[in-house]
Amino acid sequence: MSRKRASVRREEILAATIEEIESSGLRTLRVADVARRLGLSPSLVIYHFVTKEALVAAAFAHAGENDLYRARRIAATGRSAREKLDEVIAWYMPTGSTRSWKIWIDGWSAGLFDAELRATFAALDKEWKAILASLIDAGREAGEFTQGADSAQTIATRILAYLDGLAIQAMFHTDAVTRELMIEWVSAFVAHELEPPS
C-alpha cells in the first residue's frame, strides 16, 4: 500500500475527518470511520494524532484555516470594497465546500466544554472579524461607506452574528430561509450598517 510522507497523510486524515463529521456528526465520529474512508488502519490515525480528541481539534483548525485562506484571497482582489465585502460574506455563508456549517454547529457544541477547541474558534473568529473590519475601513476611506458611530470591528461583529444566526435558521428550516433570502437579508443589513440613508 502506498506509503506517504507524514505531512501528506496528515492532511488526508484531517480532510477525511472533516468529511466524516460533515456527513455523520461529531457525536458518532469513530476513529475507525475516518480510517476506513481512506482505506487505512485505525492505528495509523492514532499514530499520527495521538488521540481522537487531538485529531478533532486539528481537523477544525485545519478546516477553519482553509476557509480563511480563501476569504483572504477574495479580500486581496482589486475590486471595490463593497464588492469584496459581498463576496467574502457570500463565502462565509453555507454552501462553500468546507463551509458546510454543520461542522461548525457541531464545533460550537464541542467547544462549550473543551477549552482548546474554544480557543481555536476564538482565533478563527477573530481572523474573520479582522478581514471584514479591514474591508470596512478600506471602504470608508475610499468613500464607499459612510463613517458611522461604530467601529469597523463592531460592525463586523454584528454582521458575523447575523450570518451565524441566519445559517442556523437555514440549517433547521430549509423551507423558511433559503440561501437567496439569506443573501437578500444580509445585503440589506450590511447596507443599513454601512450606508445610512443620507
Sites of contact with its own copies (CB under 8 A): 24-28, 102, 105-106, 108-113, 118, 121-122, 125, 157-158, 160-166, 168-169, 171-173, 176-177, 185, 192, 197
User: Half-sphere exposure of residue 4, counting CA atoms within 13 Å on the CB side?
Assistant: 13
The smaller minimum CB distance to DNA, of residues 5 and 176, is found at 5
**CA–CA gap between residue 166 and residue 94 (Å, rounded):** 10
Q: Are 80 and 70 in contact (CB under 8 A)?
A: no
Q: Least distance to DNA from the beta carbon of 103, Å?
A: 17
Q: Name the phi and psi angles at 147, rounded to 5.
A: -90, 90
Cβ proximity to DNA: between 31 and 190 the closer is: 31
- The three cell numbers locating residue 170: 437555514
Q: Pick out residues in 6-65 that bind DNA (CB under 7 A).
A: 6, 9, 28-32, 39-44, 46-48, 50-53
Binding at 185: pick from DNA, its own copies, none (beta carbon under 5-8 Å per type): its own copies
Return residues touching DNA (CB under 7 A): 1-6, 9, 28-32, 39-44, 46-48, 50-53
